[in-house]
Amino acid sequence: MSTYKILSDTSCDIPAAVLEQLDVTYVPFHVSFDTVQYLKELQDITPDEFYDKINAEKIYPKTSLPSMQDYMDAMEPVLQKGKDVFCICLTANFSGSYQSGVNAANILSEAYPERKIIVLDSACVTGSQGLLVYEACRMRDAGYSMEELLAVLDKQKYMTKINFTVDSLDYLQKGGRIGKAAALAGAILNIKPIIVMRDGELYPESKVRGHKKALKTIMDMTRNEIGSEKELYRVLLVRGEKERHATVEEMRQTLLAEGFDVMDEIWPVGITIGTHTGPTPIGICYIKKYEYVK
């Protein structure tokens, strides 16, 4: 039995059932469709319900990060049971969620001086953060102490990447990620952006014409980046709306047949990133397995 509990904010995009299997407590982000009422991710609304709503109502939602109180509410029951806390948060480049976790830890450390609380900036987002949490659970189950876990994760978080694309630029434009002219030109010319997440930052990698070419591009990028040492990496595919699931499953089966170590499940991109991308993201995430981190 481990002496500590792993927590993560919901930007890790691990499905609720998998979080339960991993014995991970989540701290929810919030989403609003009217800027008044906020719903807690996974508790009040699932990613699939989120995409159904924005598709049906053509609305642009707003997200809110977990508060310090949200983190305290998740951490304190663990501390009361005599366990320590290891908390993994969305990259601080995207959100103040990490700072909320740190503030909660500082307050609770005074109330529970005999307990240890570690809060980690994952430098990751969506499935790449989820893979980091997954690897943390593997290390926990292998008997790693919190200090040993931190030492590996501090290196491993920079050995993860996500290559993804979106079919529509509307939400990126609405969220200020691209300009109106670029969004209009993209729509007219059928341009699809190739976006990568690495080292805690999002970068536009390239642009291609057509959805099929965009999917082929992110597949080829993954092959080129880790194909020569695929046994060292764990691969995860993610998608937005459930209507994209069949397409992503074909991609998953292809990578599986090529010998990549691919996760069995496809994870939905959650509301944290889905608010900025809209319902159409498809991505391939990978992480170097902890056994090979030097």
Global pTM? 0.93
* Residue 2 pLDDT grade (very low, low, confident, very high; cuts 50, 70, 90): confident
Q: Which tokens go with 141?
A: 């189950």
Q: What angle do CA 177, 9, 282 make, to 5 degrees?
A: 45
Summarised one tens digit per residue, pLDDT across range 118-161 is 999 999 999 999 999 999 999 999 999 999 999 999 999 999 99
Q: Which residues of 113-146 are buried (b: 16+ CB within 10 A; e: fewer)?
A: eebbbbbbbbbbbbbbbbbbbbbbbebbeeebbb
Nearest of 218, 235, 241, 11 to residue 124 by alpha carbon: 11
Summarised one tens digit per residue, pLDDT across range 22-77 is 999 999 999 999 878 999 999 999 999 999 999 999 888 999 999 999 999 999 99
pLDDT value for 205: 83
User: Alpha helices of the chain — where are they, by DSSP H?
Assistant: 16-22, 47-57, 68-80, 97-111, 126-141, 146-156, 170-174, 180-189, 211-226, 245-257, 271-277
* Residue 187 pLDDT grade (very low, low, confident, very high; cuts 50, 70, 90): low
Inter-residue contact 186 to 165 (CB < 8 Å): no
Summarised one tens digit per residue, pLDDT across range 65-121 is 999 999 999 999 999 999 999 999 999 988 899 999 999 999 999 999 999 999 999
How does the average pLDDT of the chain come out, rounded? 91
User: Which 3 state secondary structure label does DSSP give 61?
Assistant: coil
pLDDT value for 94: 86
d(CA 34, CA 62): 8
pLDDT value for 270: 95
